[in-house]
A and B are shown apart, each in its own frame.
Chain A
Amino acid sequence: MNRTRMTTIIRKEWAELYKNSLVLSTVVFMPLILTALPLVILWASGGFEGSVDVVVSELPPQMVQQCQGLSGAACNQIFIVSQFMLLFMMIPLIIPAAIAPYSIVGEKTQRSLEPLLASPITTTELLLAKNLAAVIPAILATWVSFGIFVVGARLLIHDTLAFNHLFAGRWLIAIFLLAPLLAILSVDLSIMVSSRSNDPRVAQQIASLLVLPVVFLLLGQMLGFLIFNNQVAILFSVVALGIDIVLTYVAVQVFDREAILTRWQ
């Protein structure tokens, strides 16, 4: 694989992204909003100090197990903030779903695919470069958002034990393992949808349906059906990896030079 060709395509994608205010605003503002939301909630609840008295027994039993050594108020706050931390899982799904359809459908509508495919770039290089061009901003946005949240939370949470509980292993698994896998999943799905669409908005809307499982997870956690612990984080990562492998295989088949030219219409 030729790195120069791949970086050329990645830079080209980003140059086009920079000129597309609609997609750019999604990439910039959506993570900011999803980061601000849990911080505002944390701030509104006054950190973990001086909170109202909470009946810990009303929390889901799995949650109570995680709260050992903490006050009832701190445990309750961790529970509330944890719900919203799942929002960070939406970032790696939404950003590629915003970028990738424009990347593929844009090539189709501008009719720029044929000269591109006639160049010495291989199909694998092109697919990988387009993948990375959408995945890298998504992962960076997730990590930067999470970093901002960690710094903000540290300023708002004065109880070190509570802070450590909040950023336990499950979130590190989610942010550094599950998020990149979800970003790849989102790009692969976007490429497949885009191959059949001439309107990036259609592809975006279909790819955006990917956030539904996260929403269900959020609801399940809020209702106490599911607690996002280490086991669940690892299980989801394994499932996402499996789906990624299948979808990447399908995306490679869809992203065949000849199919692109003769069937992508």
Chain B
Amino acid sequence: MAAMIHTDHLTRRFRTKDKTELVAVDNLTIDVQPGEIFGFLGPNGAGKTTTIRLLSCLIAPSSGTATVNGYTVGQQNQAIRQSVGILTETPGMYDRLSAATNLRIFARLYGVADADAQIARYLRLLGLWDRRDDEAGGFSKGMRQKLALARALLHEPPILFLDEPTAGLDPEAAHLVRDFIAELRQQGRTVFLCTHNLDEADRLCDRIAVFKTHLIAVDTPTNLRRKLFSRQVVFHLRAMAPQLVAAVKAHPFVDEVQAIDNKLVVRMHDPELHNPTLIRTLVDAGADIQFVGELRYSLEDVYLQLVQTPSLSA
């Protein structure tokens, strides 16, 4: 299946005021598949917004190539602009105009056929219908963000670039926006999601790219965890005994064993294969197992490991 977004050594350099050259995006090569929610994570100033601007044809690449929805950046910019919806970091509404007028302007710019029906549809979907005639300047941050999301969707683009869609929103508004993004995937749209909210990325994204000027890693959240950390299984026991540690350690597939209170934390690869053996070993050694669980690393652990480890982020 052809990628909806494809970049090949995409690079963007800026000349700073003191005439030095700043590389904002360096040799980025990624593929984003149709219907995928692709998380793009990185620290502030990593070049995430620049990447979105490159892919939405707002700025030109210094070198490398990119295609969006099959159209080439720099050559078919108008077609790309028509194919993508963009939610910028700040909603950027016309504050003196009503919510409906704000949307009507963009519906006309994108040539939306039945503009009024589309506007009504998205205002209703995002819970803004009753406030359609109110000035956008009087909206809360959450409402402005929802209005900006409606604006990005009016022309039914197959690809959406969302830059920090839930930044600064209260939990309820953030939840609504997240649910809405999840719905977009069900509609078959491709979402390129920049976020600092790692829990959000973990829950929403099919794959995640960790980026700091250059691509550090890209994979599913689960695979990223597995690549960085060997898995750890926790055995909760009624009582701890020294021979239990020794019995577990005797297995060659066990990398490390730690006894913490009544818990045995066992680091190993492929727990699905080895857990039955370990459980038998522990029971034979006289352990009363209360329950077994896997110690899960959060995406934050993965992210920090990737971004802060010089050998990984270099």
CB distance from A4 to the nearest CB of B (A): 6
Q: Check A112–B81 contact: CB distance below 8 A.
A: no
Q: Given A8-B108, A121-B109, A261-B53: A111 and B92 within 8 A (CB)?
A: yes
Enumerate chain B residues within 8 angstroms of A212, measured Cβ to Cβ.
Answer: none
Enumerate chain A residues within 8 angstroms of B108, measured Cβ to Cβ.
Answer: 4-5, 8
Q: Given A19-B97, A120-B81: A261 and B105 within 8 A (CB)?
A: no
Tell me whether B226 is interfacial, beta carbon within 8 Å: no
Tell me whether A53 is interfacial, beta carbon within 8 Å: no
Q: Check B97–A114 contact: CB distance below 8 A.
A: no
Q: Check A120–B82 contact: CB distance below 8 A.
A: yes
Enumerate chain B residues within 8 angstroms of A44, measured Cβ to Cβ.
Answer: none
Cα distance A118–B84 in the bound complex, in angstroms = 9
Enumerate chain B residues within 8 angstroms of A114, measured Cβ to Cβ.
Answer: 58, 86, 88, 92
- Chain A, residue nearest B135 (CB): A19
Q: Check B110–A112 contact: CB distance below 8 A.
A: no
Cα distance A111–B56 in the bound complex, in angstroms = 17
- Chain A, residue nearest B59 (CB): A258
Q: Check B151–A112 contact: CB distance below 8 A.
A: no
Cα distance A119–B85 in the bound complex, in angstroms = 8
- Chain B, residue nearest A16 (CB): B96
Enumerate chain B residues within 8 angstroms of A118, measured Cβ to Cβ.
Answer: 56-58, 81, 84, 86, 88
Enumerate chain B residues within 8 angstroms of A65, measured Cβ to Cβ.
Answer: none
Enumerate chain B residues within 8 angstroms of A20, measured Cβ to Cβ.
Answer: 96
As a 0/1 sequence over residues 87 to 123 of chain A, the CB contacts with chain B under 8 angstroms (1 = contact) are 0000000000000000000000011111111111110
Cα distance A113–B95 in the bound complex, in angstroms = 13
Enumerate chain A residues within 8 angstroms of B58, measured Cβ to Cβ.
Answer: 114, 117-118, 257-258, 261
Cα distance A118–B91 in the bound complex, in angstroms = 13
Q: Check B96–A119 contact: CB distance below 8 A.
A: no
- Residues 20-48 of A contacting B (Cβ, < 8 Å): 20
Cα distance A4–B82 in the bound complex, in angstroms = 15
As a 0/1 sequence over residues 164 to 207 of chain A, the CB contacts with chain B under 8 angstroms (1 = contact) are 00000000000000000000000000000000000000000000
Q: A115-B86, A116-B92, A116-B109 are in contact. List 9 more A-B contacts (CB 8 A).
A: A8-B108, A9-B109, A110-B93, A112-B92, A113-B92, A114-B86, A118-B86, A119-B109, A120-B111
Using CB atoms and an 8 Å cutoff, list the residues of chain B in contact with chain A.
14, 53, 56-60, 78, 81-82, 84, 86, 88, 90-97, 101, 105-106, 108-111, 148, 151-152
23 residue pairs from A and B, CB less than 8 Å apart: A4-B111, A8-B109, A9-B109, A15-B101, A16-B94, A20-B96, A110-B92, A110-B95, A112-B93, A113-B92, A114-B92, A115-B88, A115-B92, A115-B151, A116-B92, A116-B109, A118-B58, A119-B106, A120-B78, A121-B109, A257-B58, A262-B14, A262-B59
Using CB atoms and an 8 Å cutoff, list the residues of chain A in contact with chain B.
4-5, 8-9, 12, 15-16, 19-20, 110-122, 257-258, 261-262
